Structure 1
Amino acid sequence: MDESADTRQRLSHRIDQKQQALRSYIGRERPRRNKLSNISVVGSALAAMLTAGPAVGGTGFTEAIRGIFSLGDDSVVWRFLCLAAVILSVAAALATNFANSHALAEKVSAAETVNAQLEGLQVTLNFGHIAIDEALKLYQQYVAQVPFVDEVPVR
């Protein structure tokens, strides 16, 4: 293959473009992954706490809640606790399923890994410590791991 500076520069530019696309993807999807994960964990924990209160505290717990919120009878307390626990459990389940159905965590991790690999390739390429053929093969191997990352439009 052509080992000219122009060929090296074109591959370097291509690597830069892919890294820009990866950074854009990571910047968009990492917060989404984190939000879904947090909703799942917090929702599950709160649902467990809402059901643990009456289980551990018994009627004393429900009477205390009834007194704090000036509720008419214990059945209202139970209905509120059960409804809140159901809502939080459903929110946690939905968040978990949305994250898993799109394999969001795995995709973000793959994008982060490929971005780091491309950074190393870029440095090696810029210092001339790799043949263009080998650099191109590595580039193709790396980007093949992230087919879900679209190219960033050239402006």
Structure 2
Amino acid sequence: MDDTSDTRQLLSNRIEQKQQAVRSYLGRERPKRNKLSNISVVGSALAAMLTAGPAFGGTGFTQALQGVFSLGDDSIVWRVLCLGAVLLSVAAALATNFANSHSIADRVSAAETANAQLEGLRDTLSFGRIDTDEALKLYQQYVAQVAFVDEVPAR
């Protein structure tokens, strides 16, 4: 491959386009990853809290809740606590499994790494610290790590 400034600029433009696509991907997927992670953690913690009261306080705890909410039967307290724990546990399990089945965390990490690598490559290329053939090989390696990232459509 020739090492002219036009070729370097062409490769630099391709690097920038791929970085735009990766940044766009990260802008969509980071919030999704964070939301699923938060649902999983908070759901699990709240489910544990709903079961901790009766586990540690026993009938005294449920009778106290029965009195606070003016319920006729303490079995209603047990049912509500159990139903809440089940619903929160299911939400946490679904969020965890959805995130894992789509490898969201792994893909976001790969995209973040590739974005940093492409940034470094673009800088190195623009300062002439690397020949074009070597830069192209590195570009192909970095892009292969994020094959799941679609190109950003031209505007």
TM-score after normalising by structure 1: 0.99
State the alpha-carbon separation in 1 of the partners of residues 111 and 2 from structure 2: 30
Q: Matches of residues 92-103 of structure 1 in structure 2 within 5 Å?
A: 92-103=92-103
* Structure 2 match to 1:147: 147
Describe how 1:36-115 pairs up with structure 2 within 5 A.
36-115=36-115
Which structure 2 segments of 5+ residues have no match?
Answer: none
Percent of matched pairs sharing the same residue: 80
Q: 2: distance between equivalents of 1:114 and 1:150? A: 14
What's the offset of the Cα at 1:57? 0.3
Cα distance in 2 for residues equivalent to 1:64 and 1:148:
54
Q: TM-score, normalised by structure 2?
A: 0.99
How many pairs are equivalent? Answer: 155
Alignment of 1:113-152 (within 5 A): 113-152=113-152
CA deviations 1:65-85 (Å, max 9, x no partner) are 111211111110000000000
Over the residues paired in the alignment, what is the CA RMSD in angstroms?
Answer: 0.5
Distance 1:66 1:76 in 2: 8
4+ residue runs over 2 A deviation: none
Structure 1 residues 27-82: Cα deviation after superposition (integer angstroms, max 9, x where no partner): 10001001000000010011011111101001111011111211111110000000
